[in-house]
Amino acid sequence: MSRLKFLLLLPLAVLLSGCNFVVMAPAGDVAAQQRDLIIVSTVLMLLIVLPVMALTIWFAWRYRHSNDAAKYDPEWDHSTGLELVIWSAPLLIIICLGAITWMGTHLLDPYRSLDRIAANRPVDRDKAPLEVNVVALDWKWLFIYPEYGVASLNEMAAPVDRPINFRITSSSVMNSFYVPALAGMIYAMPGMETKLHAVINHAGNYRGLSANYSGAGFSGMHFAFHGLDDAGFDQWIARAKASPDKLGRPEYLQLERPSSNEKPRAFGSVDSDLFRAILNMCVDTGKMCMSEMMAIDAKGGSGMAGLNNTLPLAYDKYARRGTALGPQPSFVAGICTPEEPQGRTTAQVRESTPLLGAGLKRPTLAPLGSSTSFLFGSTSKSQS
């Protein structure tokens, strides 16, 4: 019978042998410190959990109905010593957990610059960190290296023992950027920038993924993270620069269209202003950037007289470049700058071919009548 049980458990053991406990065996110092927090917290809690479980079994056995040798005292109701043990031990553990949590929250704050690259190895202040701009697309990851002027899709690399400064945003919906071997997860949100500071200490190939469900192609939204020595990283950058593909605004607008299971590829040149435009949701030519909107609002807004000087803003959730969720695209026209073409009188609206991503049904909207003009000239439209 025992052999039969062993044979039945053998397939389970085989399956478990394939598990990759990367969270408990990370390759980056930040992830290693997070692992230590998990272990210390678990051990502290087990100091209470294990004795309680053991005493539960002991009491059930000791005071079972058939044990006449156990002392029966129906009048007992209090023990000062027992009360001290019951309350003091959990209180001390809670104090320890609170102190560890407070220190870990501040020392491992993803927005906090690194003080060390490993235990007893402080950061070399003379060596600049690697800057990486991350954009979560549907359903793929875009990595921009502003220092080198290159970008990559669904693949990134970093040199060993060099701090990495991530600036993270999203093109449409919220995602979560996560490389378990490197550091904890951090959210990527449209129109917002989050940050993450990390370092990889061991060369190797690791898996990155999205840890927040974002639609039909979510299962394929992962990427390869390569930890390389300095020479290997320089070669990786050289291969990226050798790519004939370029990433400007028109190419990005095509790239961000929903697609899944995209193969990794590199872009040999990148528009230096692209990440700022993505972050401010104004990659489209003529669309006012959020920074411009906020600058106007900070000065009191455009006032009642300026309401007719902008095209009506169609919120991107329902009319994002002609998605199936909304009508023809319309947006606030950008303010003239020296970089804008001279003499332009109308905002340039891109073609409105619907994106093919899965989404909600188009909401029912009541027809509106309006007359508008905008900064580059004037126009009007009406609905009856």
Residue 135 phi/psi, 5-degree rounding, is -125, 120
Strand pairing class (164-170; 194-198): antiparallel
Is pLDDT of 281 > 70?
yes
Query: Are residues 181 and 295 both part of a single domain?
Result: no
Q: How far is CA 374 from CA 335, 352, 360, in A?
A: 10, 21, 31
| Burial group, residue 91, by CB count within 10 angstroms (0-12, 13-18, 19+) | exposed
- Residues 39 and 133 grouped into a single domain: no
Higher pLDDT, 81 or 15: 81
pLDDT digits (tens, 9 = 90+) for 191-202: 899 999 999 999
166 has pLDDT over 80? yes
Tell whether 11 is covered by a domain: no
DSSP bridge partners of 132? 166
C-alpha pair distances (Å), 314 with each of 278, 287, 327, 378 = 17, 11, 9, 19
Classified as helix, coil or strand, 168 is strand
268 lies in the same domain as 290: no
User: Averaged over 33-44, what is the pLDDT?
Assistant: 91
What is the CA angle 220-222-228, rounded to 5? 150
Mean pLDDT computed over every residue of the chain? 79
> By C-alpha distance, which of 230, 212, 229 is closest to 221?
212
- Which pLDDT score is estimated for 268? 93
Count of domains for the chain = 3
pLDDT in tens, 71-128: 888 788 888 888 888 888 889 999 999 999 898 888 889 999 898 988 888 988 888 9
C-alpha–C-alpha distance, residues 176 and 184, integer Å: 10
The parent domain of residue 26 ranges over 22-60+82-108
In this structure, the answer to whether residues 153 and 246 fall within a common structural domain is yes
Q: Is the pLDDT of residue 370 over 70?
A: no
pLDDT beyond 90 at 146:
yes
Kindly state whether residues 149 and 235 are assigned to the same domain: yes
Instruction: Give the span between the Cα atoms of 246 and 214, in whole angstroms.
Output: 27
Name the amino acid, one letter, at 263. Answer: K
Q: How many residues does the chain have?
A: 384
Average pLDDT over residues 261-286: 90
Average pLDDT over residues 35-42: 91
**Single residue among 52, 74, 108 that ends a domain in this structure:** 108
C-alpha angle 260/262/267, rounded to 5°?
135
Q: What is the model's pLDDT at position 89?
A: 87
Pairwise pLDDT comparison (78 vs 18), residue with the higher score: 78
Q: Is 208 in the same domain as 296?
A: no
Residue 31 has pLDDT above 70, yes or no: yes
Tokens of 300: 């009191």
Residue 13 lies in a domain: no
Distances (CA, A) of 148 to 204, 247, 252: 22, 13, 18
Judge if 166 and 200 occupy the same domain. Answer: yes
Q: Is the same domain home to 332 and 347?
A: yes
Write the Ramachandran bin of 4: left for phi over 0, alpha for psi from -120 to 50, otherwise beta: alpha
Q: Considering the domain boundaries, does residue 323 fall inside one?
A: yes
The DSSP call for residue 264 is P
Instruction: Please indicate, yes or no, if residue 193 is contained in any of the structural domains.
Output: yes
How far is it, in rounded angstroms, from Cα 193 to Cα 134? 10
